[in-house]
Structure 1
Amino acid sequence: MKLALIIDDYLPHSTRVGAKMFHELALELYSRGHKITVITPSYQQDNELYIEKIDGITVWRFKNGQIKNVGKIRRAINETLLSFKAWRAINSSVMSDSFDGIVYYSPSIFWGGIVKKIKKRCNCPSYLVLRDLFPQWVIDAGIIKQGSLIEKYFRFFERQSYKQANKIGLMSENNLELFCSINKNYSCEVLHNWASVNHVSSRDDDYVSIRNKLNIQDKIIFFYGGNIGHAQDMANLMRLVKRMQVYENAHFLFIGQGDEVTLINQLAKKWNLSNYSYLPSVDQNEFKRILSEIDVGLFSLSVHHSAHNFPGKLLGYMVESLPILGSVNAGNDLLNIINNHNAGLIHINGEDELLFSSASKLYRDNSLRSELGCNAKKLLIEQFSVNSAAQQIERGLGN
């Protein structure tokens, strides 16, 4: 099949997990004999449309305003224009036989317009990879008010996005149940997050070890990598960092970007944390190398979530056979998935004593870290491989 893959952020410049996942999906579908075209925005180009190849994948980049690392109002405006700008750029390049199927990724919720136009011209089905129940989570977090004009605005585009999908893939059973309780008459299924199962086997000669760079050669490193925002409740992890100061060789490394970067650095300064380092986002290759050096993979989800996210960062930890330590919102089936497979230690956000106890166990017990890490890799291969995701998407498109 000739497939259009649509996402709001893509490699090589993106540092986000979604971009990495979509590129791995593109490569897997390409290896299965499909012709892949990725459609994605860029604010760093002069032409309306720029075409390039990355690892054999054709990428159409259309000019659009910046939507990452900008203010909320500017981001909302630029995201609203995604479909309009995309169609204006690619309209003349899309023929009736250009595509046999569309795979689009949310976030963003603003792809409904472009998907509708491509479907109409090419008479093809579409599959929505739904990873983020926006605007529901920002309502849960109290960032926007339920019933407000801005909620109605986002809900309109959310519905438009869902309406274009022949099949919608949600990341967990609980997310599927929640979605179907709110949204009726959509064809939905569970589509787990995915990753390539190949770990980083070697490093470039010029790569400087993160342990050497930060002078933490002999430390047990607890690592958080990815978005640092309201949805993650980073204060939850910072409380753990503070408690873990009792262990001389425990060190916490956070790498990423988002609305709560200022908060975590302010807390580190306020609490005089000597066991903590923060670095801004790095490219995917360096991120993978850093993962190969750490000991424990961290994550956190806000207690206010009603949705049940499976953070993509966990897959990177699992690829490198790392034990997973973290907190989730109540009812999140991720807790049972990880704990029941003995792949990590997960607690409800707010159970600070339990989280600290688990962190202490992982700090002290190398064999426990190894056991949980091996189980995490096994779980990845069994349930979260990119091969499984590609097969499921093919079926969803009717192939």
Structure 2
Amino acid sequence: MNILLIVDDYLPHSIKVAAKMMHELAQELMTQGHVVTVLTPSSSLKRRCSLEKIDGVSVLYFRSGKIKNTNKIRRAVNESLLSFRAYWSCAEFFKSNPQDLIVAYSPSIFFGHLVARLKKLWNAQSYLILRDFFPQWAIDSELMKEGSLIHKYFQFFENKNYSVADRIGIMSPSNERYFRESEFSEKVEVLYNWVKPMEYQREDDYWRDKYNLKNKTVFFYGGNIGFAQEMKCLLDLAFELRGHPEAMFIFVGDGDEVPLLKGLVAEHKLTNVLIFPPVDQKTYLEMLNEADVGLIHLNRNHTSHNFPGKVLSYFNLNKPVLGAVNVGNDLKDVINKANAGYISDSGDLGSLKENALRLLSAKNRKQKGENGKKLLLELFDVQVTAQKITH
């Protein structure tokens, strides 16, 4: 099949999990014999449309306004224009390169109109990879008022996303209840996050040497640092563990709560926290490889149940996972039952601290890291994902 993948963020310019996941999916689809093109926006593109190759994958960039690391109003405007700009910029490519299947990743919620237009042009099928429920999580986090004009605006695009999809892949069984009484329920199936299994060979301690972390237990967080993650809770954990000099916390990424984190570190004079801006995938893997524990956290007010893709990066490098998620999230049982780490409920700082102290044991970390890799191979291999999407 000829397959178009649509995503709002892609390698090599992003460290975010969506970019890495979609690149690995593109490569696996090609391995399985499909012809793949990735469509993604770029705010630095000089031309309207540019076709490039990344690791053998054809990537079609279209010129867009900035949608990452900018203020909320500019982001909302530029994301709202994604479908229009994509078609206007790359219309000639679309007309001369028909596709059999369109696979769109959400977030963003704003590609629905583009998918509808391309489906009609090509008489193609479409698959929506749905990884979060926006604007619902913004309401849960009290960033938006339910029933407000802005909520109805975003909800219009959300529903368009669902209505044009032939199938919708959600990341956990518990999220099926979000669609249970909706007109889209028959389209929904579980599509777990995925990763390409790998064995990382690098053995040196560059980052540990550079930042004097040689004898530390490094708790590592990489990815978005925003309201949806309620990152203050991980800073609270660092504050609680300041009496354990062997514990060190590293945060790598960007997002709305970076200033909050930096302010708390300064306010409490925390010497056990390092905060880094986003890095490329190669550097990200180097840093994670030298860490001991992978961190996750989700806002306690979420009503949907996200499965952070970074968990699979941690599993892939044999790192145990420590974190907290909203009550009822499947991820808690998945990790705890596999003995691949410790997941508690968001807001329960006591349990989070107790679990962190357990992971100061090297023997415990090693066992749980090995269990995580085993779980990855059983449930989250990109090969399985590619087959499910195309059948």
Query: What TM-score does the superposition give when structure 1 sets the normalisation length?
Result: 0.96
* Contact kept? 2:216, 2:246, Cα under 8 Å: yes
Report the equivalent of 1:73: 73
CA distance in 2 between partners of 1:63 and 1:195 (Å): 29
Task: Give the one of 270, 273, 291 matched to 1:273.
Answer: 270
Task: Report how many aligned residue pairs link the two structures.
Answer: 391
2: CA distance, partners of 1:371 / 1:29: 33
Hey, what does 1:366 align to over in structure 2?
A: 362
CA distance in 2, matches of 1:257, 1:89: 29
Pairing 1:348–2:345 present: yes
Shift of 1:95: 3.4
Q: Which residue of 2 aligns with 1:39?
A: 39
Q: Distance in 1 between matches of 2:232 and 2:210?
A: 26
Q: In structure 1, what is the Cα distance between the partners aligned to 2:184 and 2:273? A: 46
Once the 2 structures are TM-superposed, how far is the Cα of residue 14 of structure 1 from its aligned partner?
1.1
In the TM superposition, what whole-angstrom CA distance separates every residue of 1:85-124 from its partner, at most 9, and x where no partner exists?
Answer: 0001121112376211110000000001111111111111
Matches within 5 A, 1:17-32: 17-32=17-32
Aligned runs of 1:235-274 on 2, under 5 Å?
Answer: 235-274=232-271
Report the RMSD for the aligned CA atoms in angstroms.
1.3
Question: How far did 1:184 drift?
Answer: 3.8
Over residues 37-77 of structure 1, what are the superposed CA-to-partner deviations in whole Å (9 max), with x where a residue is unaligned? 00110010111001101111111100010100011010000
Q: 1:232 aligns with which of 229, 232, 235?
A: 229
Residues in 1 aligned to 2:234 and 2:260: alpha-carbon distance in whole angstroms? 12
Q: Residues 248-397 of structure 1 correspond to what in structure 2 (within 5 A)?
A: 248-363=245-360, 365-395=361-391
Q: Does 1:158 align with 2:158?
A: yes
Q: 2:127 — aligned with what?
A: 127
Contact (CA 8 Å) 1:300, 1:349: kept in 2 or not?
Answer: yes
Distance 1:333 1:130 in 2: 16
User: Which range moved further: 176-185 or 60-69?
Assistant: 176-185
Instruction: Give 1:375 deviation, angstroms.
Output: 0.5
- 1:96–1:121 Cα contact (<8 Å) kept: no
Provide structure 2 residue ranges, at least 5 long, that are not aligned to the other structure.
none
Distance 2:9 2:256 in 1: 18
1:208–1:67: structure 2 CA closer, same or farther, 3 Å change rule? farther
2: CA distance between counterparts of 1:31 and 1:239?
45
Structure 1 partner of 2:145:
145
Q: Which amino acid is 1:242 matched to?
A: F
Alignment partners' CA distance in 2, 1:9 and 1:328: 25
**Residue pair 2:29, 2:36 contacting (<8 A) in 1 also:** yes
Letter paired with 2:281: Q
The unaligned stretches of length 5 or more in structure 1 are: none
**Superposition TM-score, scaled by structure 2 size:** 0.98
Q: Find the aligned partners of 2:205 and 2:85 in 1 and give their Cα distance.
A: 41
Check the 8 A contact 1:227/1:256 in 2, yes or no. Answer: yes
Query: What percentage of residue pairs aligned between the two structures are identical?
Result: 47
Alignment-mate amino acid for residue 159 of structure 1? N
Q: Which residue of 1 aligns with 2:201?
A: 201
Kept in 2: contact 1:97–1:122 (CA 8 A): no
Q: What residue in structure 2 maps to residue 102 of structure 1?
A: 102
Native 8 Å contact 1:96 1:122 kept in 2: no
Matched letter for residue 160 of structure 1 = K
Sort the Cα spacing of 1:217 and 1:182 in 2 relative to 1 into closer, same or farther, 3 A. farther
Aligned equivalents of 2:364, 2:181: Cα separation in 1: 40
Give yes or no for contact 1:170–1:176 (8 Å, CA) kept in 2: yes
Structure 2: how far apart are the matches of 1:221 and 1:182? Answer: 44
Relative to structure 2, which stretch is displaced further, 87-96 or 104-113?
A: 87-96
Deviates more, 1:335-344 or 1:86-95: 86-95
SS of structure 1 residue aligned to 2:84: helix
User: Retained in 2: the 8 A contact 1:168–1:186?
Assistant: no
